[in-house]
Amino acid sequence: MPENRPSVFETIICVPGNWSDRSALLMAIAKANIGSYIFAGQLLFDIEANEGYQLEIREHDEKMAQAFRHAGMVNQVPESFIDSIDRHTIVLYLIGKTGSPETAARIAKAAQALLNAGGTGVKIETAGKAFTPEHWNALVKNATAANLYSMFVIDSVTTTDGSVYSCGMQNMGLEDTIVSGLEFQESVDLISLFNRYRLMEAPFIKSGHTFSAAADAPVFKITAEAQQPYEGYEIFENPYGMWRLEHIS
C-alpha cells in the first residue's frame, strides 16, 4: 500500500438540474433545505455538521445524458431518466473531503440536498456510477455500510485480459480490489464480499494475509497490487492502493 497514505480523499458528485440561473438555484436550495443547508459564495454549507462543500456551477453539457447512460448501466436506470438528464439547464459539481464511511455519508446527504432543490440525478464522478433521485434518496435514508458501498463503489469493472476490479473504495478511505483468472460473476461476488467485509468490520490486513468466504470455501492470498488499472487517471485511481486476491487453494 502507498507509503504516504492520504488522510482524506476528495469526492466529486455531479447533480444536473433545471434551474434558470444561479439566483434561482440559491433560492431553491434555501427553500428546500431550511435550517440544514445554505449556498453562499462557492460553498454548500451543512449547518448541522458545520462543514462546507465546494459547489461548482456549469452550463448545459450536451454529453451529460450519454455520461449518465453509461454510468447508470450498473443500476439499470430507465431511458425516461436519461431524457430528464438531457433536459438539464445547469450542472452542479459537489466536491468535498471524504476518505471515511462517515464523511462519505455526509457528502451523500449533501447531494440529497441538491436533489431536494430540483436536481434530476446523481453521478459519483469518483466511481462512475449514476442514480435516479428515488434510488439515491432511498439509500441515503438508511446510510448503512452496505448502502454506502452501493452508492460509492462499482465492483464489476473489467480489463482487456479478463481481470475484474472495483472502483470507488477511495471515497471511504479504503483500497480497491482486483481478481484475475476467475469467471466474471465469481470475481464480482468475491470482490463485493471482500470489500464489504473490510468496510463493515474494519479488519487489519497486510500483504500476505489470506481471505476466505467460509471455512470450506476457496482461499485467496492478499497482496498489494503494484499497478492499478486506472493508474494515472486521478479521478479514479485509488490513492490508498489496491489489493489483489489470488486463488491458492
Whether the per-residue pLDDT at 30 is higher than 90: the answer is yes
Whether the per-residue pLDDT at 104 is higher than 80: the answer is yes
Greatest C-alpha distance within the chain: 62
Whether the per-residue pLDDT at 11 is higher than 80: the answer is yes
Q: Is 77 helix (H, G, I), strand (E, B) or coil?
A: coil
Output the pLDDT for position 234.
87
Q: Is 223 helix (H, G, I), strand (E, B) or coil?
A: strand
Whether the per-residue pLDDT at 141 is higher than 70: the answer is yes
Q: Can you list the domains of the chain with their CATH numbers? A: 9-148 (3.30.70), 154-247 (no CATH)
Residue 247's alpha-carbon distances to 114, 173, 181, in angstroms, are 44, 26, 9
What is the DSSP code string of 23-60?
HHHHHHHHHHTTTTEEEETTEEEETTTTEEEEEEEEE-
Q: Which residues make beta-bridge pairs with 131?
A: 122
Q: How far apart are CA 35 and CA 200, in angstroms?
A: 32
What is the band of 4 on the pLDDT scale with cuts at 50, 70, 90? low
Helix runs in the chain, H state only: 22-32, 64-71, 79-86, 101-116, 133-141, 145-152, 184-201
Q: How far apart are CA 71 and CA 164, in angstroms?
A: 17
Cα torsion angle, 186, 187, 193, 197, sign? positive
What is the band of 6 on the pLDDT scale with cuts at 50, 70, 90? confident
Span 88-111, average pLDDT: 97
Whether the per-residue pLDDT at 200 is higher than 80: the answer is yes
C-alpha cell of residue 105: 455519508
Whether the per-residue pLDDT at 3 is higher than 60: the answer is no
* Entry field: residues in the chain: 249
C-alpha cell of residue 127: 466511481
What is the band of 170 on the pLDDT scale with cuts at 50, 70, 90? very high
